[in-house]
Structure 1
Amino acid sequence: MEIKKKKLKMMTLDQMKDKHIGEVGTKERDKYEFDLKLEVLGEMIRSARKERQLTQEQLGELVGVQKSQISKLERNAKNVTIETILKIFRALKANIKFSVEMKDGDFKVA
């Protein structure tokens, strides 16, 4: 019995995103990239907090929010204001830089 080997097509990560999410510039891809940046932001907050050896409760006290809000933010930074993000990073004594790019009337945050 002969076993046929299936040839796998190699794809880069960008090619996979183009195929399964949408190409750069499409609404679906822009939403994916934006959500990914927010997820990374939450992880950056968690990482900086731990590096400063603070609990979520301690960071919350520094910022003026409840521990549960810090926890929620670290898991999902979607519903947070820029003001709150800045307060958190100031409390963590960390620098943060925002880049806003206007492209064809739309705003892009980098």
Structure 2
Amino acid sequence: MKSYNLNQAEDLLIGEKGTKERDEYEFELKLELIGDMIKNARKKRNLTQEELGALVGVKKSQISRLENSTGNVTFETVMRIFNALGAKLNLKLQM
């Protein structure tokens, strides 16, 4: 039985870096991480999705879709959510 390191397994199962499949996977993973961060911060503040939506000016369903990474959301909405949660978002751009 052949063994693989993590990078080799990712290349085989997801696609090599730079391929469309790999880029899409990594993009979706980042969206899931943002959704998880919002959900954790909301729960830490003891807010329901409905209460957070009211603070941000969106419906509960939009908060739910964002937390579950099932819908499109604008960057502006993400920033408003983090602002309403009193959370700071640090961005790092790599080129």
Q: TM-score scaled to structure 1, two decimals?
A: 0.79
- Give yes or no for contact 1:89–1:96 (8 Å, CA) kept in 2: yes
Write the mapping of 1:17-96 to structure 2, written as runs, cut at 5 A.
17-76=10-69, 78-96=71-89
Higher relative contact order (CA 8 A, sep 6+): 2
Bigger shift: residues 55-64 or 77-86: 77-86
State the alpha-carbon separation in 1 of the partners of residues 51 and 5 from structure 2. 42
Any gaps of 5 or more consecutive residues in structure 2? none
2:90 maps to 1:100: no
Aligned residues: percent identity?
58
Deviation of 1:78 (Å): 4.8
CA deviation string 1:49-76 (max 9, x = no partner): 0011111011001000111111111001
Normalised TM-score (structure 2): 0.90
Runs of 4+ deviating beyond 6 Å:
none
Q: Which amino acid aligns with 1:32?
A: Y
Cα distance, 1:77 vs structure 2: 5.9
Gaps of 5+ in 1: 1-7, 103-110
Corresponding residue pairs, total:
95
Kept in 2, the 8 Å contact 1:43–1:74? The answer is: yes
- Contact 2:35 2:68 (8 Å CA) reproduced: yes
Q: How big is the alpha-carbon RMSD for the aligned residues of Structure 1 and Structure 2? A: 1.4
Which has the larger share of strand?
Answer: 1
Name the structure where helix makes up a greater proportion of residues: 2
